[in-house]
Chain A
C-alpha cells in the first residue's frame, strides 16, 4: 500500500531522532494518473514505499545524493525523471525533500560575544555547542539555548567532537594563541568543518596567520578561514557582532549577495527617476 504523507512524516521524525539524513519523494505529475501521489523514502540502507515503478524508484534513488549539497541539512525541489516503463520511455515529475539533522555551530570562547551568538544560532535552528577552558565561563546557565557547553583543554579543543563538513566553527577566544591552537587542529582534519570563522582585528588575524605559515600551512589553507568573521555592518556591541556573524552564515548557505536589497533592486532609480519614468511607461 502507498504510504501516506502522515506515515512518511513519522519516518522523517524517526530518522532525525537517530541523527540520520532521509530523502522523501512523491510523484506530482505523470501521464498515468495512478502514479500521482505515490511515495517513497530512503534513509541510509532503509527505504519504503514506491513511486509506482521500480525503474522510477531506482532513477530517483540514484539521483538524490547529488540533488542537494552535502553540507545542507534541508532541501526541497521538483525534477522530471525519465525511466523505462516496460518497453516505453516514460517521464514523471517528482517532488523530493531532504531532511537531515540540524546544522551545528561550535562556538569556541564562552565570553560576551558567545552569549548573543548562541541565542541567534539557536533561532536559526542550529544545534549550538559552546567551548571554553574556563569553568566559570563554560557554564550551562549562561547558554540556555545551547545543546552542549564543554570545558575543554586548548591543547586538544575538539576532542571527541567528530567535526565534519556540515559543521560551523566560530572562534571567539580571548587570545590569538588560543585561536591558533584551534586552527591548527581544524585545518589538519581530513574533512574540516565547512565554515570556520575567526573574530579579530586585521592585526590579530595577521598574527595568527603568520604563526600558521611558520607551521607550514599554505595560503590556500589560510583562505579557508573566514577571518575576520562576519559581514561589514559597522556594529560594535556583542549583539551587533553576533548579527554580523549569523548574517554571514546565512549568506554562506543561501548564496545571496550581501548587498542591501534597496541597492540591488534600485526600484526608484529604475522606474521612477527621470530616465526610469520612460521605463515605467513602457512596462
Chain B
C-alpha cells in the first residue's frame, strides 16, 4: 500500500485504532524509519512494520493502548541468534512508537 493511501486511511478512520510507527531502525530491519501500521481491535487494518520480524510484538503492545495504556516506544530486537530458528533473525533493532491514532474515536477518552 502506498504511503499516501495509508495517510488517507489514517485521516478518515472511523473505528478506534492504534498507530505504530518505526521511529528509528538500526542494522538490518525489513522496514525502515517512517514505516507505519494501523492496528484495530480485531487486528491489523493497514500497513506493516515488517511482517514476521517483530510485528507480532508490536501488535501485542498495541492491545495495551485499547485497554487504556499510555503511548510508548516499543523496542524490537531482531538480533536473535539464527541457530535458534527464531523468526527474528533479520539482524537489526528498531524502535516503534505506538499511540492512539484517533483518540477522539475511543469511548473512554
Contact = CB atoms under 8 A, between A and B. Distances in A.
Interface string A94-128: 01010000000000000000000000000001000
A36 B8 CA distance: 24
A12 B103 CA distance: 18
Classify the interface of chain A: helix, strand, loop or mixed: mixed
B101 A4 contact: yes
B102 A5 contact: yes
Nearest to A102: B4
Interface string A16-51: 100000000010110001001100000000000000
A147 interface: no
B33 A4 contact: no
A5 B19 contact: yes
For B11, B21, B102, the residue with the greatest tally of chain A CB atoms inside 10 Å of its CB is: B11
A6 interface: yes
B30 interface: no
B40 interface: no
A6 B101 contact: yes
Nearest to B6: A9
Interface string B21-60: 1011000000011100000000000000000000000000
B11 A125 contact: no
A37 B24 contact: no
Nearest to A96: B23
B68 interface: no
B71 interface: yes
A159 interface: no
Interface string B1-29: 01110011011110000010101100000
Nearest to B17: A6
B24 A36 contact: no
B73 A5 contact: no
B13 A6 contact: yes
A55 interface: no
Interface in B50-109: 70-73, 95, 97, 99-104
Nearest to B10: A9
Given A4-B103, A36-B72, A78-B24, A12 B34 contact: no
Contact of A95 (B97, B102, B103): B97
Interface of B: 2-4, 7-8, 10-13, 19, 21, 23-24, 32-34, 70-73, 95, 97, 99-104
26 contacts: A4-B101, A4-B102, A4-B103, A5-B10, A5-B101, A5-B102, A6-B10, A6-B11, A6-B13, A6-B102, A9-B7, A9-B8, A9-B11, A10-B12, A26-B99, A28-B23, A28-B97, A33-B70, A36-B71, A36-B72, A37-B70, A37-B71, A74-B3, A77-B24, A78-B23, A95-B23
